[in-house]
Each structure stands twice: as structure tokens, then as C-alpha cells.
Amino acid sequence: MMGSRDALLNERERGSPRRPLTSEQTAQGEEQSWANRPHEELVRAFRGLIWKGRQEILQEGRKTSYLTPAVMIKGELGKQASLHMSPDPLDKQRAAFFWQIEKAWDVIAYEHYRWEGIGEPDHVERHHAGLMLSDTYERAKARHEIRPEFIKLDPQQVKILDALAEAADVPHQRGQAEIEIPEHLREYEQRLRAEHERRRGH
């Protein structure tokens, strides 16, 4: 889904003379171009990409249990964040950009990680979100960050998160530059370890 993001961005650049740019300049230009689009345009673009993703999955005959928009977006953000393993500096910068959005998305969309049709919780996606958010919180505490329970977003990340939330019908107050990790997710991994120890004790 997010692969189409580059196509949308490049539309703005067609017809304009190009000059050689560094990877960092290119990434910054893409993010600024994307964030300069009106909110309503971003929402329409993301809804179109969600619809396209649904059609591709159905055409491939794959299971439909992961077709909820919240889970689809989670997966695509994860793909972008996984680019941190690439040797390309541009990929690494893009990965860092989307990784923050993915963590914020896990917070606001956590209750929407469900199987479509039956509405049951998608425990795989919730488990992954819990592990990532509790690890994020613990690492921030170890660095002695002020308010480690908050995920900080820059203006471009805020705008993309706002549009994703509306496109996926996930309730979210627009314009938030700090997303608070709920207490039960801050302690997710700690609770898992405690439960594991309790079971071993029996």
C-alpha cells in the first residue's frame, strides 16, 4: 500500500527540472511534499490504497482475516519500518520516519486490531504492538527521557497519522504531536514475564 506513496509524491515533481540531490535531501523533500497535501486529499489517497490492497488480497485468494483497515495499515507501516536493515541511507531515514508512525498507530489502533467479520481480537497484531510499545517505553526510561510514556511526532508524521486514522475510521484527535502509551501497554512485556514465571512455579 505505501509503495504507492512514492508514486503520489512523484506526481508533484513531473515536469520540473531535476538536479542531483543527496539521499537526505531527497527524503526530506518527499516528506515535505507529502505533508503539504491537504488533509482531505491524504484521506482520499489512503482510502484508495486500502481499497486497492483489499482487492489484491482477495484476487490472490488469501485469507481475509487481516482485511480490517487498521491491521492492513499496521502491516504496511511495518514494511516501511523494516527498511532500517537496508544499506541505503535514504531507506534508513524513511524507516525511522515510519517507525515513529507505526508506534503511534499501535496506540490509537490497538483496539481495532480485530478479525474482520467476527470482530474477535487479532492477538498476533496486539501481541506485536504490546511488545514494541513496552520496549519503546523501557528504552526511553533507560535514556532518562522526560515523559518516556509519550511517542513524539514531527509535523509531517502528525499529518500522516491523522489522515490514516480518518481513512481507517479509527477515532483519533487530530493534531497530536505526542501520543501517550497506555499503562497496560507500557507494562506488557513485564506482565508476560511475570505470568511465565508464575506458570513455571506451578
- What is the C-alpha radius of gyration for the chain, rounded to an integer number of angstroms? 18
At residue 58, the pLDDT reads: 79
pLDDT digits (tens, 9 = 90+) for 116-140: 777 788 899 999 999 999 999 999 9
pLDDT digits (tens, 9 = 90+) for 2-12: 444 443 333 33
What are 114's strand-pairing partners? 121
At residue 115, the pLDDT reads: 84
Q: Are 97 and 31 in contact (CB under 8 A)?
A: yes
- Provide the strand spans (E) within 100-191: 150-152, 178-180
CA–CA distance, 175 with 200 (Å, rounded to integer): 46
CA–CA distance, 50 with 146 (Å, rounded to integer): 36
What is the Cβ-side half-sphere exposure of residue 182, based on CA atoms within 13 angstroms? 13
CA–CA distance, 42 with 163 (Å, rounded to integer): 6
Which run of H or E residues covers position 108? Answer: helix 89-109
Classify the C-alpha dihedral 68-8-104-124 as positive or negative. Answer: positive
Is 14's pLDDT higher than 60? no
State which amino acid sits at residue 102.
E
Which run of H or E residues covers position 50? Answer: helix 39-59
* pTM for the predicted model, two decimal places: 0.79
Which one has a higher pLDDT value, 52 or 149? 149
Cell numbers given for 10: 512523484
CA–CA distance, 135 with 130 (Å, rounded to integer): 8
What's the whole-number average pLDDT of the chain? 81
Pairing of strands 150-152, 178-180: antiparallel
CA–CA distance, 113 with 70 (Å, rounded to integer): 6
Please state the φ and ψ torsions of residue 179, each to the nearest 5 degrees. -115, 120
